[in-house]
Amino acid sequence: MTLKAAMGQFTTGVTVVTTNFEGQDWGMTCNSFNTVSLEPAMVLWSIRKEASSHKAFTQSGSYLVNVLQADQKDTAMRFASGTQSERFANQACERSEQNNLKLTNTVAWFECRLAQVVTAGDHDILIGEVTRYGVKEGQGLVYANRQFGVLAPFKP
């Protein structure tokens, strides 16, 4: 069994993180997002050092984490490959206060000021202080073993 296979057994939610750097919009699918602190409100995610969007996310100063809804598998796939303009083409979204793109129909979003970058092997961990957030009722998209799904809660 490979390390990737073992890590894939850990079920996560799915997000698309966006930023605007030097006038261009950037977005990528990310499942390493996690919450860290309530007071102050802080979250983290990690980005591959070789990602073409690495410079944008580490230098723009802010980013917005879009937590995808159960029916947004196609969005998750689209933001994991192709050019940035292909990713945002026909994507319904609005601009946030910090000029980042907020996708519509997500179950939650967090806009963050980049507070700290921690280098860890082939990734950098981006720690952000949440400056604004929003939430909506609905089911989130989940991911495990390279497959998307929805949570089937146990009945009480």
Ligand X SMILES: Cc1cc2nc3c(=O)[nH]c(=O)nc-3n(C[C@H](O)[C@H](O)[C@H](O)COP(=O)(O)O)c2cc1C
Can you give the binding site for ligand X, defined by CB under 6 A? 14, 28-32, 45-48, 51-53, 76, 80, 143
Of 87 and 102, nearer to ligand X (C-beta) is 87
Minimal distance in Å, beta carbon 155 to ligand X?
A: 28
Amino acid letter at 24? Q
Report which residue's Cβ sits closest to ligand X: 32
Minimal distance in Å, beta carbon 39 to ligand X?
A: 25
Measure the CA–CA gap between 131 and 77, rounded to whole angstroms: 28
Measure the CA–CA gap between 28 and 14, rounded to whole angstroms: 11
Of 35 and 156, nearer to ligand X (C-beta) is 35
Of 89 and 97, nearer to ligand X (C-beta) is 89
Minimal distance in Å, beta carbon 83 to ligand X?
A: 8
Minimal distance in Å, beta carbon 14 to ligand X?
A: 5
Closest CA to 31 of 14, 6, 16, 47: 14
Of 31 and 69, nearer to ligand X (C-beta) is 31
- Which is it for strands 142-144 and 123-135: parallel, antiparallel or unpaired? unpaired
Measure the CA–CA gap between 15 and 30, rounded to whole angstroms: 5
Of 29 and 66, nearer to ligand X (C-beta) is 29
Three-class secondary structure of residue 24 per DSSP: strand
Angle at Cα 81 formed by Cα 20 and Cα 89, nearest 5°? 60
- H or E stretch at 77: helix 73-78
Minimal distance in Å, beta carbon 125 to ligand X?
A: 10
